[in-house]
């Protein structure tokens, strides 16, 4: 379904998507810098990346994909503004986490974020229900990720109670490996074939077959981390099995050379490997064997950065030049893909350094990856 990520019936307004992409990349680098230098508390630094960067970007991506997955029209203005609403709320979250705002503000913002997630869930579900024919199964992954995000917001008021540690663990795992993980895994099976330009006829089958096991795994991981840590281990087979099947499909259909030689594809592929690594460290953190700070930084560097840089290599040209394929769009895509192999390796290496508690090395490697992401397209001759 190459058309799923190439264009919608009426393309989403490009001007609303590009700022989300730019601010997401900046927020990741800012989060790593502020967190590694301890200028912000670990939780505040993580929310610079998550609440200010990744949540608005994922919301924006949903507004791009859902109209095509459900063969429906462009979102209205009230829906289009939601990514920017959660971005503003993200700034307030960071302020409350850092102590610049009163603690009660965190609870109010969590409630507001939950309501925004519910509003977008209602819109997504309504589009699927009104779809002429059967909607693409990818829509269900987005709906589930929004439901998990709303569930994660319910844990926030309990963070200041005697159940604070359990609430924090549930909130963190439901947000990262639940909301972000489900949204990413719902996108990658369709995005990878489009990036390489080779159809993958089993992508819809994979999304249908592995939806419930992956959702169950995310919920079990969140519940286990909060209530009974050994239970979190049960989530690993559910989550990793589908990812292994997906990687095997990619290698069988596309082959490793095609993935490696495509700057966007290799970023997406390595992000999936990074996610698998973080599932293991996430379970270890829930069991008390892995500290929070390196796990948080590793999540940003090892997974979010390669995922977002790879996805934006494909999507930014579509947002910049919407409609039918043009030479300008193809040229921009080629420039953005320049240096994809190097930046991806730097991101993953930086993430592994963070996980090994070498924060300075991780920051240097991840920062170098960001520099490659920014400057390689500028100096590319393609």
DSSP per position, 89-154: HHHHHHHHHHTSS-HHHHHHHHHHHHHHHHHHHHHHHHHHHT-SSPPPTHHHHHHHHHHHHHHHHH
Judge whether residue 5 has pLDDT over 60: no
Judge whether residue 121 has pLDDT over 90: yes
Overall average pLDDT of the 131-138 stretch: 90
Q: What is the pLDDT of residue 33?
A: 83
Q: What is the pLDDT of residue 153?
A: 95
Q: What is the pLDDT of residue 2?
A: 47
219-272 confidence digits (pLDDT tens):
998 888 788 877 778 888 888 999 999 999 999 999 999 999 999 999 999 999
Residues of the chain above pLDDT 70, percent: 93
- Alpha-carbon distance 298 to 287, whole Å? 18
Q: What is the pLDDT of residue 73?
A: 84
With cut-offs at 50, 70 and 90, classify the pLDDT of residue 185.
very high
What secondary structure does DSSP assign to 57-79, as a single string? HHHHHHHHHHHHHTT-PPP-HHH
Instruction: Considering only residues 294 and 158, tell me which one the structure prediction assigns the higher pLDDT.
Output: 158
Q: What is the pLDDT of residue 16?
A: 67
Q: What is the pLDDT of residue 176?
A: 87
Overall average pLDDT of the 114-118 stretch: 96
Judge whether residue 4 has pLDDT over 70: no
Judge whether residue 133 has pLDDT over 70: yes
Q: 61 vs 44, 138, 260, 372, CA distance in Å? A: 24, 13, 25, 24
Judge whether residue 18 has pLDDT over 90: no
With cut-offs at 50, 70 and 90, classify the pLDDT of residue 81.
very high
Q: What is the pLDDT of residue 9?
A: 39
Mean residue pLDDT across the chain:
87
Lowest model confidence (mean pLDDT) among 104-113, 187-196, 281-290? 281-290
Instruction: Considering only residues 41 and 254, tell me which one the structure prediction assigns the higher pLDDT.
Output: 254
Half-sphere exposure of 67 (CA within 13 A, CB side): 19
Lowest model confidence (mean pLDDT) among 2-16, 105-119, 177-191, 208-222? 2-16
Overall average pLDDT of the 93-100 stretch: 92
Overall average pLDDT of the 50-65 stretch: 92
Name the residue ranges covered by the structural domains of the chain: 3-379
Q: What is the pLDDT of residue 284?
A: 72
Residues of the chain above pLDDT 90, percent: 52
Q: What is the pLDDT of residue 380?
A: 74
290-318 confidence digits (pLDDT tens):
776 787 788 889 999 999 999 999 888 88
Instruction: Considering only residues 57 and 225, tell me which one the structure prediction assigns the higher pLDDT.
Output: 57
Q: Which one, of 102, 98, 215, 84, lies nearest residue 149 by Cα? A: 215
With cut-offs at 50, 70 and 90, classify the pLDDT of residue 122.
very high
Q: What is the pLDDT of residue 38?
A: 79
Q: What is the pLDDT of residue 207?
A: 96
Q: What is the pLDDT of residue 10?
A: 45
- Alpha-carbon distance 139 to 186, whole Å? 8
172-181 confidence digits (pLDDT tens):
889 988 999 9
Q: What is the pLDDT of residue 337?
A: 92
348-374 confidence digits (pLDDT tens):
999 999 988 898 899 899 989 988 988
Judge whether residue 323 has pLDDT over 80: no
Q: What is the pLDDT of residue 62?
A: 93
Phi, psi of 255 (to 5 degrees): 85, 145
Q: In terms of pTM, does the model score above 0.85?
A: yes
Position of tokens 């990520």?
5
Q: Considering the domain 3-379 in this protein, what is its CATH number?
A: 1.20.210.10
Instruction: Considering only residues 283 and 8, tell me which one the structure prediction assigns the higher pLDDT.
Output: 283
């Amino acid at each position: 379904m190459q058309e799923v990520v190439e264009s919608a019936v009426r393309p989403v307004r490009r001007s609303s998507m590009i700022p989300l992409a730019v601010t997401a990349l900046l927020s990741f680098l800012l989060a790593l810098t502020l967190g590694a230098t301890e200028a912000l508390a670990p939780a505040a630094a993580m929310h610079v990346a998550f609440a200010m960067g990744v949540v608005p970007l994922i919301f924006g991506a949903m507004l791009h994909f859902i109209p095509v997955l459900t063969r429906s029209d462009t979102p209205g203005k009230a829906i289009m503004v939601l990514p920017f609403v959660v971005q503003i709320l993200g700034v307030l979250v960071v302020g409350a986490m850092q102590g610049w705002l009163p603690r009660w503000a965190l609870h109010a913002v969590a409630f507001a974020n939950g309501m925004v997630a519910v509003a977008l869930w209602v819109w997504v579900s309504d589009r699927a229900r009104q779809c002429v024919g059967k909607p693409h199964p990818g829509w269900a992954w987005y709906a589930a990720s929004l439901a998990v995000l709303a569930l994660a917001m319910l844990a926030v008021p309990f963070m200041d109670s005697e159940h604070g540690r359990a609430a924090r663990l549930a909130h963190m795992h439901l947000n990262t490996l639940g909301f972000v993980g489900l949204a990413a895994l719902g996108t990658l099976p369709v995005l990878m074939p489009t990036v390489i330009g080779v159809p993958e006829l089993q992508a819809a089958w994979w999304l249908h077959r592995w939806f419930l096991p992956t959702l169950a795994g995310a919920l079990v991981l969140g519940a286990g981390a909060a209530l009974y840590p050994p239970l979190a281990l049960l989530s690993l087979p559910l989550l990793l099995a589908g990812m292994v099947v997906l990687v095997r499909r990619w290698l069988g259909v596309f082959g490793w050379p095609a993935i490696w030689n495509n700057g966007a594809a290799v970023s997406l592929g390595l992000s999936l490997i990074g996610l698998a690594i973080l599932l293991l460290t996430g379970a270890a953190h829930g069991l008390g064997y892995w500290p929070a700070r390196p796990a948080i930084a590793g999540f940003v560097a090892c997974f979010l950065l390669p995922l977002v840089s790879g996805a934006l290599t494909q999507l930014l040209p579509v947002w910049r030049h919407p409609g039918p394929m043009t030479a300008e769009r193809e040229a921009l895509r080629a420039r953005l893909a320049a240096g994809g192999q190097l930046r991806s390796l730097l991101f993953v290496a930086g993430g592994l350094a963070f996980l090994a508690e070498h924060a300075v090395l991780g920051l240097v490697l991840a920062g170098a990856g960001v520099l490659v992401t920014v400057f390689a397209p500028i100096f590319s001759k393609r």
